Structure formats: structure tokens, C-alpha cells
């Protein structure tokens, strides 16, 4: 992050002259971090303070994962629920009647019971069905949702699904997001469940404090044919609503010479769901006269954005806030005919939009409507290998997958794909209306001008 020191300096200067409410908001982004089954509070190397769950829940038994010294401490203990179909944590959210929050629940089975039998169970968020958790012997499974919590509290529940498979939880994290962040879904009736959050600019997972909101960004798993290029900008203005951290723009992926397309799929369910994508771009080099890096976003061959050229020293986000998409939906970035340089992309987020039921909203009363768990849509979890939690299954997209491409100078696209092993087949019906993507990034050159005076 050394490159970005000047940006940090400028931010400090800007805060000095014009104190921003953002500072206060991000200071309090970490609402709570619960280390389930732990006996003592502790602070990890990132400065996150973990609290044991014993004062938050009366049910369940604490367990310790054997031989788990190489994984973060918060995953080394868990709470398992041998009794009761549904067991819930009520979480209080100080300040504000409605708060946009990120909730992350983490499950590491680690053969704690010596039975080599990782359970599958359901997860409920704020009284609504969230997902089905399929744990694994030696993998960390993490489920993350973004939604508007009401009434100063929320709840996270695990619900038994199969006889003999006991639900458990390793950790629950609650973060406060800015009210402007992830604002393009219907907060009154739905939530976003994370399917993918990946960035070219990170070499290992990046989270708090680099991202003050403690979103976890995994390295892009680029396949052959894609190169990682470093950003040459000294400062970068990331001032858009979704507040992406500057660190994710330190580099980007671009196709190797000879290709003008980047293609990817996301680890969404195999049936169409309502999906929410954020794509983040920046120009990585000061373009020479005559250079032109103009490209467009296509979804299954249909243009989803106007042609645009990412700005140097600033960013553009393309969002598709409500598209019908699945694990096979192909998103591609394709150069326009006048372009001389191939596309670049720095980071991607993909979410499944799930309905939140009205009755269970807020309250944290831990008493969600019973009996409808199986009927609700479920969303895919993030599964990751312990120690190197990156999305799996990188592969190039074959040229034949791009049959619907527009008539640009089409060559074999480089690609990256995420997913495989997705389960659950939520069906939201045959929704074919596609949200029009908009360019919302703002390129403010002011900081660069400032730099001349510093
Ligand atoms: C823990 O490690 C020890 C020594 O490597 C091994 O003998 C034991 O089987 C391991 N226990 C579990 C539950 O994996
Ligand atoms: C780059 O090419 C596009 C067409 O692909 C054109 O619309 C745009 O004006 C060009 N930009 C520059 C700076 O020449
Ligand atoms: C999924 O949605 C896309 C785009 O709307 C559509 O073309 C496709 O036929 C749908 N697939 C299924 C299985 O419904
Ligand atoms: C998302 O798209 C579906 C299908 O077109 C539509 O019914 C729904 O109202 C949209 N939701 C939002 C928040 O725009």
C-alpha cells in the first residue's frame, strides 16, 4: 500500500480542512464479533475484538476443534446445538431505528466431534430463510448477508434440517455499513447474500482495517490468458457510494496480448436468481495520446453498459442491481471497435437477492415464523480452504461460449470463472427484466491538483 501513501496523506489533509462524517461512520463499523464457544475475549492481529458468546445464548454446548492451531483463533471453538430445532442469537445494533448491516456467519467443523461427519443445516437471518449451510471436514464455510436491520436488533438462527446432523456456529460478525452503500435493492423486503467478492489488487484476503467496513476481498483467481497489471496512479479517488477500499485498485487484470475480451461467471446458484453485481474499474496507466481503452459490459452477449473508459487516478463502478443470472451467466468486458487497448477490471462483487419476510424483521426476538424453512430460496455459501481461502475452479472460457457476442473484433476471450460445487436451486421465476447498468463513478481530479501543492 506504499503507493497509496500520498492518497492517505491527502485524505488526512482533506479531513483536516473539511472533517467528514465518513470518519465517524467507519470508526464504528464493527458492531460486534462473536467467537462462539470461546471462553475468553481476545483481540486478533487485525485489531478486531472478539467476544465469547456465553452471555448471548443459553442453549448449546461449547466445543473445540482439535489440531486447529493454524487457523484463526475465532474458528477454533464453536457452539453446537444438540437440542431444539432452531437456536438463535439475538444481536443488538446500537443507534438508529434502521441500519444497513453486514452479517457474516462462519462455520468450521474441523471434525470437532471425531465423527468425520460434517452436518448440513439451515440458516435464518432476521427471521427469514437465508441459506442452507453445507459444512465440510476441513473447509471454512462462511455466509454473508447485507440488509437493513430494523428496531435496533436482528437475529441469526441455525435450524436443524436432518436427523442427527447438529447445527453449530463458529463465529458471527456484525458490521455497520454506510446508509448509501449497497442502496440499489429493495431494502424494505429483501437482502443481499454474498456469492463473490474478489479483487485483483490483493495478494491475500483483504479485510479490516484496509476495508473499514470489514468486507473480505479474495484475490482474483485469474486463468491463463489474463495478466495482472499494477496501477501506476499515485493517488486514487474511490469516493463512490459503495466505498470500495483503495487497496483493491492497486492492480487489475487484463487479457494477454491478442485478446480484447475478459469473460467470467460467478458462483451463483445453477438456476436463475435475482442477482446484484458491482464491477469496479480504474485505468492503471497514464494513457499516451492515441491510446484508447474503451469497452462495454455484456451479459450473455447483451450489452449492459454504454461504452466507457476507466479513469486514471479515479474509479468507475458498473452495477447491475437486479439481473436474472445463474452460475452459467457469462459476463464479459469487450473492447469497442475504436479501442487500442484491452479491457481491465479491478474487482467484482456478486450477490443473490433474497426476500426477507415482513413478520420477522427486526426485534431480534429470535422467534421467526416456523415451518417454512424448506420452502424458502436458499443461496450459495462461500466455501474456502483453510489457510488459503480463495474461490476455486478457475478456468478459461472456451470461445464457443461466446456465441452471442456482438460484432466486435472477437477473439478467444481470456476468462476467469468462480464456483463449481454450488448447491441449492432457488427459483425466483422467469424474471427476464434486466437492470440497466449505469456508470456512477465520479472522477474527481481535485486531489491530484492538490498534490502539486503538497
Ligand atoms: C491431531 O494430531 C495428532 C498428531 O498429529 C493426531 O495423532 C490426531 O489424530 C489428530 N487428531 C485429529 C482429531 O485429527
Ligand atoms: C475511444 O474509442 C471510442 C470508440 O470505440 C470513441 O467513442 C472514443 O471517443 C475514443 N476515445 C478517445 C479519447 O479517443
Ligand atoms: C435465465 O435468464 C436468462 C436471462 O434472462 C435467460 O436467457 C435464460 O433462459 C434463463 N434460464 C433459465 C434456465 O430460466
Ligand atoms: C427485479 O426484477 C424483477 C423481475 O423483473 C422485478 O419483478 C422486481 O420488481 C425487480 N426488483 C427491483 C427492486 O427492482
Pocket flag, ligand 3, residue 324 (CB < 6 Å): yes
Site to substitute for ligand 2 among 260, 336, 408, most atoms within 8 A of C-beta: 336
Q: What is the pLDDT of residue 418?
A: 38
Q: What is the pLDDT of residue 27?
A: 58
Pairwise CA distance, residues 177 & 214, whole Å: 9
Rg (CA), the chain: 22
Q: What is the pLDDT of residue 62?
A: 98
324-369 tens-digit pLDDT: 999 999 999 999 999 999 999 999 999 999 999 855 565 444 433 3
Strands 30-35 and 171-176: antiparallel
Average pLDDT, whole number, for the chain? 77
22-80 tens-digit pLDDT: 444 445 799 999 999 999 999 999 999 999 999 999 999 999 999 888 889 999 999 99
Site to substitute for ligand 1 among 63, 66, 108, 114, most atoms within 8 A of C-beta: 66
pLDDT band at 371 (very low <50, low <70, confident <90, very high): very low
Pocket flag, ligand 3, residue 272 (CB < 6 Å): yes
Query: What average pLDDT score do residues 280-302 get?
Result: 96
Q: Which residues pair with 158 in a beta bridge?
A: 87, 123
Q: What is the pLDDT of residue 362?
A: 52
Tell me how far the alpha carbon of residue 115 is from its chain's centroid.
32
Q: Is the pLDDT of residue 375 over 60?
A: no
Closest atom of ligand 2 relative to the 335 alpha carbon = 5
Query: Closest residue (by CA) to atom 6 of ligand 2?
Result: 338
Pairwise CA distance, residues 192 & 183, whole Å: 11
Query: Closest residue (by CA) to atom 11 of ligand 3?
Result: 272
Closest atom of ligand 1 relative to the 114 alpha carbon = 13
Query: What average pLDDT score do residues 365-380 get?
Result: 33
**269: nearest Cα among 428, 435, 104:** 428
Q: What is the pLDDT of residue 220?
A: 87
Q: How far is the CA of 213 from the centre of ligand 3 (A)?
A: 34
Backbone angles phi, psi at 210, to 5 degrees: -60, -40
Question: Which residue ranges have their beta carbon within 6 Å of ligand 2?
Answer: 292, 294, 307, 336-339
Strands 171-176 and 168-169: unpaired
Q: What is the pLDDT of residue 361?
A: 63
| Sign (positive or negative) of CA dihedral 296, 298, 303, 305 | negative
Pairwise CA distance, residues 434 & 432, whole Å: 6
Query: What average pLDDT score do residues 147-156 get?
Result: 94
Higher pLDDT, 85 or 5: 85
120-137 as b/e, with b when 16 or more CB fall inside 10 Å?
ebbbbbbbbbbbbbbbbe
Q: What is the pLDDT of residue 18?
A: 35
Query: Closest residue (by CA) to atom 2 of ligand 3?
Result: 324
Identify which ligand lies nearest to the alpha carbon of 432. Answer: 3
Higher pLDDT, 436 or 1: 1
Closest atom of ligand 4 relative to the 184 alpha carbon = 13
The three cell numbers locating residue 243: 466505498
Q: Is the pLDDT of residue 380 over 90?
A: no
Query: What average pLDDT score do residues 141-151 get?
Result: 95
Q: Is the pLDDT of residue 408 over 90?
A: no
Which residues, at least 6 apart from 10, have a Cβ–Cβ distance to it below 8 Å? 235, 447, 450, 451, 454
Strands 226-230 and 251-255: antiparallel
Query: Closest residue (by CA) to atom 5 of ligand 1?
Result: 67
Pocket flag, ligand 1, residue 96 (CB < 6 Å): no
Closest atom of ligand 4 relative to the 185 alpha carbon = 13
Pairwise CA distance, residues 79 & 55, whole Å: 13
Q: What is the pLDDT of residue 97?
A: 86
Question: Grid coordinates 485498485 are at which residue?
Answer: 249
**220: nearest Cα among 229, 211, 208, 210:** 229
How many residues does this entry show for the chain? 454
SS3 402: helix
Which residues, at least 6 apart from 144, have a Cβ–Cβ distance to it below 8 Å? 102, 103, 104, 105, 193, 194, 216, 382
Q: What share of the chain is helix, strand, coil (3-state, %, to 5)?
A: 10, 35, 55
pTM confidence score: 0.78
Identify which ligand lies nearest to the alpha carbon of 189. Answer: 4
C-beta separation of 166 from 80 below 8 A: yes
Q: What is the pLDDT of residue 70?
A: 85
Label residue 337 exposed, middle or buried (CB < 10 Å: 0-12, 13-18, 19+): exposed
pLDDT band at 259 (very low <50, low <70, confident <90, very high): confident
Question: Grid coordinates 490468458 are at which residue?
Answer: 225
Identify which ligand lies nearest to the alpha carbon of 70. Answer: 1
Q: Is 110 left (phi over 0), alpha (psi -120 to 50) or beta?
A: left
Amino acid at each position: 500500500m506504499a503507493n497509496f501513501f500520498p492518497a492517505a496523506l491527502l485524505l488526512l489533509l482533506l479531513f483536516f480542512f473539511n472533517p467528514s462524517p465518513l470518519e465517524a461512520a467507519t470508526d464504528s463499523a464493527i458492531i460486534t464479533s462473536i467467537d462462539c464457544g470461546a471462553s475468553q475475549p481476545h483481540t486478533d492481529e487485525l485489531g478486531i475484538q472478539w467476544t465469547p458468546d456465553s452471555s448471548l445464548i443459553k442453549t448449546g454446548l461449547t466445543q473445540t476443534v482439535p489440531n486447529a492451531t493454524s487457523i484463526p483463533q475465532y474458528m477454533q471453538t464453536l457452539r453446537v446445538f444438540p437440542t431444539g430445532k432452531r437456536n438463535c442469537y439475538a444481536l443488538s445494533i446500537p443507534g438508529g431505528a434502521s441500519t444497513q448491516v453486514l452479517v457474516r456467519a462462519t462455520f468450521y467443523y474441523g471434525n470437532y466431534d471425531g465423527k468425520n461427519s460434517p452436518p448440513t443445516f439451515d440458516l435464518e437471518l432476521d427471521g427469514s430463510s437465508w441459506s442452507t449451510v453445507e459444512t465440510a471436514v476441513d473447509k471454512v464455510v462462511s455466509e454473508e448477508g447485507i440488509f437493513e436491520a430494523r428496531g435496533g436488533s436482528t437475529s441469526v438462527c441455525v435450524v436443524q434440517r436432518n436427523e442427527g446432523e447438529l447445527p453449530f456456529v463458529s463465529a458471527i460478525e456484525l458490521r455497520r455499513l454506510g446508509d448509501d452503500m449497497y442502496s440499489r435493492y429493495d431494502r424494505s423486503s429483501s437482502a443481499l447474500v454474498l456469492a463473490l467478492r474478489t479483487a485483483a489488487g490483493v495478494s491475500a484476503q483483504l479485510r479490516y482495517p484496509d476495508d473499514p467496513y470489514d468486507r473480505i476481498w479474495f484475490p482474483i483467481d485469474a486463468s491463463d490468458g489474463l495478466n495482472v497489471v499494477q496501477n501506476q496512479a499515485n493517488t486514487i479517488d474511490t469516493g463512490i457510494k459503495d466505498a470500495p477500499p483503495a487497496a483493491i485498485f492497486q492492480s487489475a487484470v487484463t487479457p494477454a496480448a491478442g485478446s480484447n475480451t475478459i469473460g467470467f461467471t460467478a458462483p451463483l446458484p445453477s438456476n436463475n436468481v435475482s442477482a446484484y453485481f458491482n464491477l469496479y474499474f480504474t485505468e492503471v496507466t497514464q494513457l499516451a495520446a492515441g491510446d484508447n481503452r474503451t469497452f462495454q459490459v455484456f451479459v450473455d452477449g447483451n450489452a449492459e453498459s454504454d461504452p466507457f473508459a476507466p479513469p486514471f487516478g479515479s474509479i468507475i463502478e458498473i452495477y447491475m442491481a437486479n439481473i436474472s443470472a445463474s452460475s452459467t451467466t457469462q459476463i464479459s468486458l469487450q473492447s469497442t471497435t475504436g479501442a487500442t487497448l484491452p479491457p481491465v477490471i479491478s474487482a467484482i462483487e456478486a450477490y443473490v437477492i433474497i426476500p426477507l419476510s415482513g413478520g420477522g424483521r427486526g426485534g431480534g426476538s429470535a422467534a421467526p415464523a416456523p415451518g417454512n424453512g424448506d420452502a424458502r430460496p436458499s443461496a450459495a455459501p462461500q466455501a474456502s480452504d483453510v489457510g488459503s481461502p480463495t474461490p476455486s475452479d478457475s478456468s478459461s472460457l472456451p470461445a464457443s461460449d461466446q456465441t452471442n457476442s456482438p460484432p466486435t473484433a472477437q477473439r478467444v476471450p481470456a476468462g476467469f470463472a468462480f464456483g463449481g460445487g454450488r448447491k441449492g436451486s432457488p427459483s425466483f421465476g422467469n424474471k427476464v427484466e434486466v437492470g440497466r447498468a449505469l456508470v456512477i463513478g465520479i472522477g474527481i481530479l481535485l486531489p491530484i491538483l492538490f498534490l502539486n501543492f503538497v
